[in-house]
Amino acid sequence: MAKTLNDIFLSNETKLKNKTALVTGASSGIGLATAAWLAREGVHLNLVARRRDKLTELKNEILDLYPDLRINLIPLDLMQKDFLSVLENENALDVDIFINNAGLARGRDNVSELNFTDLEEMIETNVTVAFKLASVVSRKMLKRSGGHIVNLGSIAGHYSYTGGSVYCATKFAVRAFSEALRQEFHDKNIRVSLVSPGMVKTDFSLVRFHGDNEKSQAVYDGVKALNSTDIARVILQTLKEPEHVNIDEIIVLPLVQAPVSYKVKRE
């Protein structure tokens, strides 16, 4: 029996030390927290976001704790037409791990009142950019004969809600894309995972409401929502699973959120 238990308790987690990762949307929220957790595991980082000052602050904090890491900062708006060329020039796409995190919601308009600028920004960022990045990164992973792509989905990719038509549609698209990618790579030694959070208290609602802090805070009032560390920790464990294990999708909700009805318990 003792030998059997030893076999059961044998740790065969994937070692992340000295791997290289690309994290998009790394200057705040889930992207920032995931970058920090990866650094703790000894992963070298390519960090992409628009805000250079936030990226620099993160890099300095990480290097204070883990001075041997290589951290490449790429201040970049992924809406730029040449964003792939910029990332290629930075050698940021040839990585072991890709955290496909950059995305946003804009507005809570009903379909009959949609702001087309918001619509186009959500589709461009959440779908077009994310899919292009995954395509180029996966091409390089095929040459490496290995890698792990983690796409950030949402509970909104499973259940739609009033005022969220376009955002939900983009996250449904991300889920479909991830499922297809997983099927294409099941025999290529490339793992594909989709992490789909529920309510997470980050800058998400502040961005959605175009910087209106009052509206943003009202979303979370009286709710014990998830935080970015909760999701980063789940992403990390997904990456550390043994190499023969693929977490196809994991849905993470705060205890007080019921997904189908979007009911939320408020204190």
Of the candidates 19, 81, 132, 167, the residue annotated as catalytic is 167
Indicate if 66 belongs to the active site: no
Q: Which residues pair with 49 in a beta bridge?
A: 75
Angle (CA) 44-105-109 rounded to 5° is 180
Q: Which of 16, 26, 15, 2 is nearest to 92 (CA)?
A: 26
Q: Which amino acid is at 75?
A: P
Of the candidates 19, 59, 171, 201, the residue annotated as catalytic is 171
Q: How far is CA 88 from CA 82, 85, 137, 208, in A?
A: 10, 5, 10, 30
Q: Which of 98, 179, 101, 93 is nearest to 140 (CA)?
A: 93
Helix intervals (H) in the chain: 2-9, 29-40, 52-65, 83-89, 116-123, 130-144, 165-185, 204-208, 213-220, 228-240
- Is-contact 132 120, C-beta < 8 A? no
Q: Which two three-digit tokens encode residue 92?
A: 């940021």
Indicate if 19 belongs to the active site: no
Q: Please tell me the distance from the alpha carbon of residue 91 to that of residue 87, in angstroms, as a whole number.
A: 6
**Hey, which residues are catalytic here?**
167, 171
